[in-house]
Structure 1
Amino acid sequence: MKEKLSLICDRLLSHQQIACCQLFFGIPHHGKDLLIYNILDLQQKPLLLIGHHGVVSAMTFGNAMSPVLLCSASDDYIIVWDVQKCQKQTQKGELPTGKVIGTLLGKIIHLSFCFCDERVAACTEAAIYILSPKTQETQSRLTGHLGPLTSAEFCPWNENVLISTSEDRTFKVWDLNTETVVYQSFVLSAFPLLNVMFLESERFLIVGSADGQVFCYSIGDNHKFSPVTKLDLQKLEKRYKVQRRNMSHEAEVGESSTEDKVETSKPILALFCPLRNKNINEIDNSWFCIGSSDGLYVVDLATSELSKVLFFKEISSLSINMAGAWSISPKFENTMLVLVSSLFTPRVALMEMCLGDLEKIENGDEGLSVFPSSPPLHRSSLNTELKMKEPSNPKKKGSVQEQPLVFHSKVKSSGYTSSPRQVMFSPKTNAQKKSPPKKSKNVSSLHTDYPAEDAAPTIPCTDLSLVNNQVLCLQHSGDGKQILCGLEDNSVLMYKSRLTGKPKIFIGHDKPVRSVSWSLSRQYWLSASEDLSLRMWTHCSSEPAIVMGDGMFSKPIRGAQFYYLDKFVLLGSGPSLHLYLYNVDVTSDDIKRYHRRSVFKLATRLKTSSTEITAMSAINDFLSYIVLVCGSDRSIQVVDMNRGGVASTMAEAHSRSIHCITQNKGSRFCTQTSDSYNLFLTSAITDGLKLWDLRTMRCVRRYDSHVIRCHPCFSSISPCGRFIATGSEDNCVFSISAHPSLPLISLSDLLSVPDCKIPVWMPVFSLMVHSSFFKLFLYLAAELHHASSNCLTYLNM
């Protein structure tokens, strides 16, 4: 941000509408007159416009480049000036004149042109006047707000629609043809609404209030306004400062403490978005700018986070420290012009901003990736091996040596030294049957990708009710054959993929099972419970092969899973990560059936900076050093198991503790780009769902359409990387396209229609997505509304 010109005015212009366009900017002079400056030649003498008898209270420029229209308002007149025509009149020595389009309408607070400059909306304290610059007539008078009006803007794609804001803390949508209100919002804030802005590309409406609240609505057909997100500028600023401090590794306590002591209000004085150039697609309209009293804030709509902040105090070349009013010109090439008036001094500054600098995001260390760039270190815990004890030698000193049965050195009839006789014929009593040709075809089909153009699963196939049980967790085996379900009654059920037949039941835990995990080889699987124990199971036995408990953990186990191609068992308990080596002995002995020959050994224990681990995730399908850990302090930590420490930390990633973290782990049935594996999801109560990029440790997308207010709802990424499924508390499941440019797709209609033979559900807490045999399935666990049972359902494509 550079300051091109700074002017000292004859009076304070802090709470007054000033005007700026691509060619000119104007300010009041001596109250009644106007000074128009040429931006292309700032050394030129400004144009003086005389015509008002009262104090000018508002002014604005039109949208056309030729002719450039200026509308100014006072208590007596509303005048429209042709600036270029007035320049020619001044050069001829004549007095510049304009058209009076309104007389004695009261104090005008805000003026705005429509996009074709054929209408002007003038806001007074009680009404909105729609004026015509051509006919110089008042077309309509709109009343209905309970408080003084603050702004009014025309819809860019429908000029017959006008949206107004007021001090009554609501906004109204007007139909100018019928002069009626087609939509009225609720009371949005405790402070007045100041500004409104349209995003034409996204069909969004953004409203700002005096206390720094920003409300975003999506505009549908027939004037349907749906709330998308709500932002608090003060909270966004605090989160941005913490992230920037973590990225720069400069945690200066003294400097941050002085800033936290002084809290200033951040009114939304201006909302604007750069226009997309039709020839150059370098500018992304997924972000917009907020002008406040202390600086400029750039908000990314995809993530609802601040991507950049330009504070006036941090730029020493600026003459303004606190802003009272903003006026923004449309985009000119790659720059934007901003006219800002000082809050406490009679000064106005013209600033120039480069759009490339606004889009530039401060990234962190780009060296982080789930794929290792070097072999493990020599002293790394990943090189630890489990040394098994060799069986003891029965030969001891002083013991009797074994003697032959006969005392002759050679016995011909014994056959000890002679070669074995050749067997002429022996029947094949244990001949194995050849596998049928169908089995070979199925095996070969497992290595074939399923069609990538298929849509998300929406067709219900099976609806299975679990009486008096609640499904707490789900996990598929990876090959599309079996599914594990952790239940509230301390048991684990193993179903077939189509939920047919009776399940295998595994019991042994004393409290509800919160986590289940399959091994990559699908020979073993884990179950972790609230009884502070972890059990490893095999298919050949209904009893666990390994039990980790008996006071080993003082805190509940979070996210136990296999790690590093099934070499380790990784789990989180309290503030520490535990990495265990194991060896499972599957041999059976009926006499010593209670004697466990399987062993496990602690390889390493890493303590994180958080007070307690709430969720964790790691990739087991290929070698990776990275483990993602979420703490009770609302942080996300990237742990490097190769070096044995925390590689990066993202503080205050959510407004509350994260209860779910999901990585894009892929599948053997589909392929993805290597960069897509660096994406992961986090979810927190009341804070929605966020998609992160591990390479930059920044949020790249945020989803707020699903309801998560009281209960933790989990999410899942499809193995193809194209879809995201998340539970919700409003009786529905959401299937989201993982591509940032595509909107969120709701499946609530399909899940609640009685014709689909699916009962009306309560909140969906657990779900998963997996692919197999050219199919993509979505498994859901939902609680029924008027019953103490649970419903387990899977949807097919």
Structure 2
Amino acid sequence: MGLVRAELTASVSTRAQQDLVATNGTYLAYAAEGQEVVYVCSLKKVSAPPLKLLVHELVVPGQRVGRKGVNALHLGSLPGHRGRGDVLLEKRLFAATRRKVHCWNIEECYAAMERGSGADCKSLEVPEDCVVSHLRTDENLRWLAAASNSDVLIYSLQRQCLIMRLDGHSLQVNALQFHTKQCCDQVITASDDRTFKVWDLERRELAYESSMYGASPFVCLAIDPTFPRMAIGSTDGLVRFFDLMSPSYQLIQGLDIPLAVRRKFGEPVNQDKDLEEEGRQVQVITKGGAESVAAATTGDSRRHGKWKPTEQIGMACVSSVSELYYIKTEDRSEGKDLLPVSPKVIACTTQMLIIVDAYTYDIITIVPFSEYSYRNCREIDIDTPRLFVADNRSHGLVTICIGSAFTPVINVVTVAHLEDGHGQEGEEGFLTGRMVGLGVESHGNEGEGGEASKVSVFPTSPPKRLSKLYQAIEKENKHDSSVSSYESATRKKSLGKTQRSGNKPVTFHSRIKSSGYGKVEPLKFLGKQVQSRTLVKRASSNLKSGRLLKSYPMDCEPVHTFQDHHALDNDAAVHSAPILRVRFCPDGSRLATASVDKTVRTLRLPLAKHRGDGETFLGHGGPVLDASWNHSGNLILTGSLDRTACLWSVKKSQALIQIEGPSAGKKGKVAQGFKSDIKAARFFHLDKLVVLACMNKLHFFKYDLGPKKQTDDIARLHQARTHSHILELSTESQSVTNFDCHNGFISNLLVAGTSAKSIEVFDADACALVRRMDNAHSRAIHSIMLNSTSPYVSHDRSAHELFLSAASDSSVKLWDLRSPRSVRCFAGHLNRQNPIGVRFSPCMKYIACGSEDKVVYLYDVRMGTVIRKLRQGISDIVGDVCFHPIHPQLVAATYDGKLRFFSS
């Protein structure tokens, strides 16, 4: 993604303090109070004499005379290349006085100055009862909007006349911007009445009127030039982001700038303690044959930790946002990258510039002015800024002109977003002067030697032979504990005598029907219907072709059709209590559900055909909090509130292994039981291990399902299935609320969400904490989901580095393990109290999320916007969601114990 850099490129000296400033990235215009002269200078030649433009008006006798001089300034430009704006073909200056709006062509004015003649000026009449305070033009120089008190005047620059007057606000209009939506021009206004309005210029009507947001007036407004999003700032320092693609202009997220600055930079840090902890070694303690490792923070994770200003931060200085500007990036609406470059928002205050990621709503860094000094960041030498004006038409570049309150100087600051790591050259892309470094880390891959590439789900070195994890996996046991041996034993037992070796009498290796060897009787189980062994063509109820897909369709549309036929008779509930987990098995033939009613069920799919046929697992004494499939799809691991975890076979309703706590040896004798409920349970290392989360620890167990073959019924009854505790990792937080790990391939990393609002990444082979993301959410994290892609799709290996986190702050964040910061933030759903589930779609284009408002939300992974709201058939809180690994199908589990299926 490159870097974001800021530099002080120029300082323009003026004769007096300036009240009005305007820029288009190439020219700078300014005017003083009470003067009827506008000065224009080129930012490339600051030392050259400025261009003087007179705005003197003749006073008619008997006419009311208001304030003399210029009331508003604006520099409009017509870009030469649509979408980039690197070359400006036409540059116009607009100056509003008491009676008129004057317009000049800057290039013609400079040519006239060289000839020694006067500059040609065009004027637009201002109504008698209006005093213009803000001016703004659209990107094609067709419209001119002028704010006057609570009204907005719209001029046509082609016809040179006033065409409409927008009257709708009750107080002063502070900001206005043009926006093009569905081939129609709109103007968006923000006012002191705490509302914003959208006006349709083609229909000449009010298109949308927002409700009142908060108790503070709106003072600034910015629109993303490459994607329809809007940011509005208020006097209390809160920046709200809105989706302009939504018909209701949905509020996406709110960012409290003072609170975010206080969290990121305001907490005290002991530098000596940091240096001491960076060199601290990981302490390994052995208890009862198991290895206990304290979560010691390494130097790599501390490197991305908090830092503070060396002087005390005055939070009153950050309380108000004066201006907002977007850094223009490439067009991301039709790109092919999975995660395109996210735009950046610059929030200007009287003491600093704050760079915010517009997709994650995180503060990247700040650029303080001369009054405050910060560690790891040099300030810009600007004395008490008062006025801000910027141009964001250039690609990856924003030129900000800052006027001082006490010094007759206008400082020019350039904030550049360098995607390729190099400076830009051209008419608008000059990068010269003293750099004030902003060490912004990339969300993408910075190369093999980059800092962000050190943490990965794929092991970069061979396993450590001295580690407890390696010794536990490679050690030979009396019985093979792998799942493959258990599968082979079950398969041989089901086939009966037909698999026995040796010659068969009478038939001589050939089957004769009359001899009884040509027919195999099916197995008969008590209470179950005898099934025929004839091959039955399996059909999919949601496919028109009637055949199973061999791979997931990567070009599928988002799911939106409610499948009401996938329900039990009379729309009966699957469970009698809320469903907390729902998971498809790897081949998509079964569905596992875990509920508060202390049961776990597996249902055969499609549900419309089998009508609830499956197994019900009874054995837990409390609500089942988690359930997960193994890689082969024949075992289920569950964790419950009764402080136990169980390992089940999909063909038996009795638990194979019950884990009640860390055991001292192979016989499974419990040395010490779990002291709290099992929050999460996962298979690990290709089904060789299971990992349980209890309190603030992750417990690793190795299990043994017994010998391969048992012919004696009594021996089979007393078959020894054991488990042993081999390792535990602990965190500094109070509890691990959820975690996830990859089981489809060998990976040593585990990602855990904690009650301390942080995300911790553990390396089980090194027995260490390799990364910690503090303040990942504003509330405790309740869901962590790695991108365990479907076996029926093929993605780049970097897709496995992504994972999701969800908390009760009504937000879902997308993370990359190679980066310490989130790369996307999905907001719009309601989640304030109950845990909800999130899930990637197999095509990696969508993210499904449950909600407390009885709706399933579908987000676009690239843009982070809501594209679907599935509410049909849902009558209660959506607790969990899951995508089918083969079909474009989604299942939602609700708190009333029902399952709802949706397809594309």
Alpha-carbon distance in structure 2 between the residues aligned to 1:287 and 1:703: 15
Distance 1:178 1:582, change over 3 A: closer
Q: Does 1:746 align with 2:868?
A: yes
Look up the SS of the partner of 1:668 in the other structure: coil
Cα gap change, 1:431 to 1:259, in 2 (>3 Å)? farther
Counterpart for residue 628 of structure 1: 751
Q: CA deviation digits over 1:120-163, x for unaligned, max 9?
A: 32222243233456766443333332212212233346675322
1:462 is aligned, of 530, 553, 566, to: 566
Deviation at 1:380, TM superposition (A): 1.3
Q: Secondary structure at the match of 1:225?
A: coil
Whether 2:656 is the aligned partner of 1:545: answer yes
Q: Deviations over 1:402-456 (max 9, x none)?
A: xxxxxxxxxxxxxxxxxxxx999578999696897949999xx999434433444
AA in 2 matched with 1:383: Y
- 1:410 match: none
Cα distance between partner residues in 1 of 2:751 and 2:722: 27
Describe how 1:7-46 pairs up with structure 2 within 5 A.
7-13=12-18, 16-29=19-32, 31-32=34-35, 33-46=37-50
CA contact (8 A) 1:6 1:319 kept: no
The residue number in structure 2 matching 1:349 is: 411
Taking structure 2 as the reference length, what is the TM-score of the superposition? 0.74
Preserved contact between residue 663 and residue 679 of structure 1 (Cα < 8 Å):
yes
Aligned pairs for 1:135-534 (under 5 A) are: 137-156=161-180, 161-176=186-201, 179-220=204-245, 224-238=248-262, 241=265, 249=303, 255=309, 258-259=312-313, 264-274=318-328, 286-293=342-349, 294-313=351-370, 318-320=380-382, 322-332=384-394, 335-343=397-405, 345-356=407-418, 361-363=440-442, 364-385=451-472, 438=535, 448-457=550-559, 458=561, 460=563, 461-464=565-568, 465-466=572-573, 468-499=576-607, 500=610, 501-534=612-645
User: What's the offset of the Cα at 1:42?
Assistant: 1.7
Amino acid at match of 2:102: I
Label 1:28 to 1:432 Cα distance change in 2 as closer, same or farther (>3 A): farther
Residue 734 of structure 2: aligned partner:
611
Instruction: Write the deviation string for residues 348-379 of structure 1: whole angstroms up to 9, x where unpaired.
Output: 11223333179984145312111112221012
TM-score, structure 1 as length reference? 0.83
Report if aligned partners of 2:174, 2:190 keep a CA contact under 8 Å in 1. yes
1:639 maps onto 2:695 in alignment: no
Larger Rg belongs to = 1
Aligned to 1:706: 829
Distance change (3 Å), C-alpha of 1:118 and 1:565: closer
2:814 alignment counterpart: 691
Task: Give 1:110 shift.
Answer: 1.1
Identity %: 23
Separation of aligned partners in 1, 2:90 and 2:470: 75
How many angstroms apart in 1 are the aligned matches of 2:12 and 2:589? 74
8 Å CA contact 1:462–1:795 kept in 2: the answer is no
Distance 1:453 1:181, change over 3 A: closer
1:564 to 685, 696, 701: 685
Shift of the alpha carbon at 1:771?
Answer: 1.9
**Which position in structure 2 is the counterpart of 1:125?**
149
The aligned residue for residue 779 of structure 1 is: 891
- 1:320 CA drift (Å): 1.0
Could you say what secondary structure the match of 2:800 adopts?
A: helix
Partner of 1:398: none
Post-superposition offset of 1:463: 1.2
Give ranges in structure 2 of 5+ residues lacking alignment: 1-5, 58-67, 79-87, 275-299, 422-438, 443-450, 480-501, 509-514, 523-532, 540-546, 662-671
Letter in 2 for 1:781: A
Q: 1:61 aligns with which of 55, 70, 75?
A: 75
Q: 1:49 maps to which residue? A: 53
Name the SS for the 2:176 alignment partner.
Answer: strand
Select the structure with the greater relative contact order (CA < 8 A; seq sep ≥ 6).
2
For these two proteins, the number of residue pairs brought into alignment is 745
> Cα–Cα, structure 1 residues 707 and 287, in superposed 2: closer, same or farther, change >3 Å?
same
Offset of residue 332 of structure 1 = 4.9
The offset of 1:595, in angstroms, is 6.3
Partners in 2 of 1:277 and 1:448 — Cα distance? 35
Partner Cα separation in structure 1 for residue 331 and residue 505 of structure 2: 87
User: 1:81-96 to 2 correspondence within 5 Å?
Assistant: 81-94=104-117, 96=119
- For 2:798, what is the secondary structure of its paired residue? helix
Q: Aligned pair in 2 of structure 1 residues 331, 423: CA closer, same or farther (>3 Å)?
A: closer
Q: C-alpha separation between the residues in 2 aligned to 1:597 and 1:260?
A: 67
CA-to-aligned-CA distance 1:735-792 (integer Å, 9 cap, x gap)? 4444x158543152xx52xxxxxx34222112222324xx344222123xxxxx4212
- 1:681 is paired with a residue whose SS is strand
Check conservation: 1:535, 1:547, Cα contact below 8 A: yes
Q: Give 3-state SS (helix, strand or coil) of 1:325's partner.
A: strand
Aligned pair in 2 of structure 1 residues 351, 589: CA closer, same or farther (>3 Å)? same
Alpha-carbon contact 1:160-1:177 (below 8 Å) kept: yes
Mean alpha-carbon deviation: is it higher for 506-515 or for 353-362? 353-362
Name the SS of the counterpart of 2:418 in structure 1.
helix
The equivalent residue for 1:769 is 883
Report the Cα distance in structure 1 between the residues aligned to 2:198 and 2:308, rounded to whole angstroms.
Answer: 48
**Residues 90 and 574 of structure 1: CA distance in aligned 2, closer, same or farther (over 3 Å):** same
**Could you tell me whether the CA contact under 8 Å between 2:748 and 2:765 is conserved in 1?**
yes
State the AA in 2 paired with 1:270. Answer: L
The separation in 2 between residues aligned to 1:423 and 1:317, in whole angstroms, is: 89
Query: Are the structure 2 counterparts of residues 70 and 669 from structure 1 closer, same or farther at C-alpha, using a change threshold of 3 Å?
Result: closer
Q: In the alignment, residue 312 of structure 1 is paired with which amino acid?
A: F
* Residues 432-487 of structure 1: CA deviation (Å, up to 9, x unaligned): 96897949999xx9994344334445451411322633222123332223322222
